[in-house]
């Protein structure tokens, strides 16, 4: 018998036996090929549509930025620190002494913009950014007011500031334990309505790296049933020398103890100070792989008019670089959005990642 013929016969038999597509054809045509497709996240869970002061990038221009960079899901945050009307500041650090306060104005403006210009191809989640956590009385009433005006529209709360050292020169008052206890009425409302809460709370600073950790612990102990997202994993410009081993150990303990805790890895500061370093990635990548179903991506872009498309595109790219190091399961959860869909309660399913040759 001709050996070639015998061989091809064997191959045909083998193909018939396995009855699955051969290695030459893609096993799953709908799978996401990480080698050919972008590593930038399709979700921006931490995006401020409103600036600290001055004019904002118009809503439709901003949604255009998302469309053009492949972002298909975003949270519409206001900003938790608005400068007084009439101030010419666009960034609070440029104007120490100017008092910043959260306000409902931005939430109303975002809701109106979204209703007037709802994009068909981008899923936007409106967020309440007005609460002042150090002065929680009145938060519940205001939530109800927003619900009356825009029923069912606000599905997120945040980013709200528990401790933000960068704001301390602008009369930002950090919340204390008594304030946290007084959150109870609105925390219950968030639980009843399944609304996640994103909290900015600095872990510490370069003199005392875990200085504010007790406050975050207090929140988690007191409200274990609330879905809480810790913005930036507690990192900030004031904390550039955190030990990644210690940091991921602290986070891991908290994640294990509090199944409703998630983190966001938004803000390019995380890349610049930590993820860009191989030694730091040695700790962060296994942490992100392990807890991927509770990790959300984001840019922390602030839509002030002095920025343009290129700035957004760069911030998305830089904040997404860590995605390249994730395993396929974590990439699907974080970059392709599954952890976000699950938290918001969206029915959408992230594609499977193609198996690599």
**Interface residue list for Zn ion (CB under 5 A):** 159, 300
Nearest CB to Zn ion, comparing residues 247 and 268? 268
Tell me the pairing of strands 123-128 and 73-76: parallel
- Give the span between the Cα atoms of 284 and 290, in whole angstroms: 10
CB of 105 vs Zn ion, minimal distance in Å: 17
Nearest to 234 by CA among 203, 192, 277: 203
Nearest CB to Zn ion, comparing residues 107 and 300? 300
The Cβ of residue 70 has, within 10 Å, a number of other Cβ atoms equal to: 12
Give me the sign of the Cα torsion angle 115, 117, 123, 128: negative
Nearest CB to Zn ion, comparing residues 200 and 209? 200
Nearest CB to Zn ion, comparing residues 44 and 289? 44
Give me the sign of the Cα torsion angle 345, 104, 229, 178: negative
Both tokens assigned to 93: 């650090």
Nearest CB to Zn ion, comparing residues 44 and 159? 159
Contact between 316 and 299 under an 8 Å Cβ cutoff? The reply is: yes
CB of 48 vs Zn ion, minimal distance in Å: 6
Report the DSSP beta bridge partners of residue 264: 296
Name the residue with the smallest CB distance to Zn ion. Answer: 300
CB of 58 vs Zn ion, minimal distance in Å: 20
The Cβ of residue 321 has, within 10 Å, a number of other Cβ atoms equal to: 14
CB of 175 vs Zn ion, minimal distance in Å: 17
CB of 265 vs Zn ion, minimal distance in Å: 12
Nearest CB to Zn ion, comparing residues 49 and 331? 49
At residue 134's C-alpha, the angle toward residues 167 and 128, to 5°, is 85
Angular region, 86: left φ>0, alpha ψ -120 to 50, beta rest:
left
CB of 91 vs Zn ion, minimal distance in Å: 13
């Amino acid at each position: 018998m001709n050996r070639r013929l015998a061989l091809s016969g064997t191959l045909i038999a083998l193909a018939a036996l396995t009855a699955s597509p051969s290695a030459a054809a893609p096993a799953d045509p709908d799978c996401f090929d990480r080698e050919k497709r972008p590593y930038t996240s399709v979700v921006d869970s931490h995006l401020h549509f409103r600036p600290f002061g001055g004019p904002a990038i118009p809503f439709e221009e901003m949604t255009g930025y998302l469309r053009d960079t492949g972002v298909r899901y975003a949270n519409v945050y206001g900003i938790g620190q608005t400068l007084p009307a009439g101030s010419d500041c666009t960034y609070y650090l440029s104007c120490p002494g100017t008092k910043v306060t959260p306000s409902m104005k931005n939430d109303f403006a975002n809701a109106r913009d979204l209703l007037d210009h709802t994009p068909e191809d981008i899923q936007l989640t409106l967020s309440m950014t007005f609460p002042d956590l150090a002065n929680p009385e009145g938060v519940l009433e205001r939530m109800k007011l927003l619900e009356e005006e825009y029923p069912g529209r606000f599905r997120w709360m945040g980013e709200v500031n528990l401790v933000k050292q960068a704001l301390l020169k602008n009369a930002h008052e950090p919340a204390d334990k008594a304030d946290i206890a007084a959150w109870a009425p609105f925390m219950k409302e968030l639980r009843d309505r399944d609304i996640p809460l994103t909290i900015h709370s600095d872990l510490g600073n370069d003199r005392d790296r875990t200085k504010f950790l007790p406050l975050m612990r207090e929140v988690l102990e007191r409200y274990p049933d609330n879905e809480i997202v810790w913005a930036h994993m507690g990192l900030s410009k004031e904390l550039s020398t955190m030990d990644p081993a210690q940091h991921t150990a602290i986070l891991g303990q908290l994640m294990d103890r509090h199944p409703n805790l998630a983190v966001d890895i938004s803000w390019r500061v995380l890349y610049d100070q930590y993820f860009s370093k191989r030694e730091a990635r040695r700790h962060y990548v296994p942490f992100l792989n392990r807890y991927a179903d509770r990790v959300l991506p984001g840019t922390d872009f602030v839509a002030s008019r002095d920025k343009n498309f290129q700035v957004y595109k760069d911030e998305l790219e830089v904040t997404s670089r860590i995605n390249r190091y994730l395993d396929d399961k974590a990439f699907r959860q974080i970059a392709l959005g599954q952890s976000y869909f699950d938290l918001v309660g969206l029915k959408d399913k992230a594609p499977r990642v193609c198996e690599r040759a």
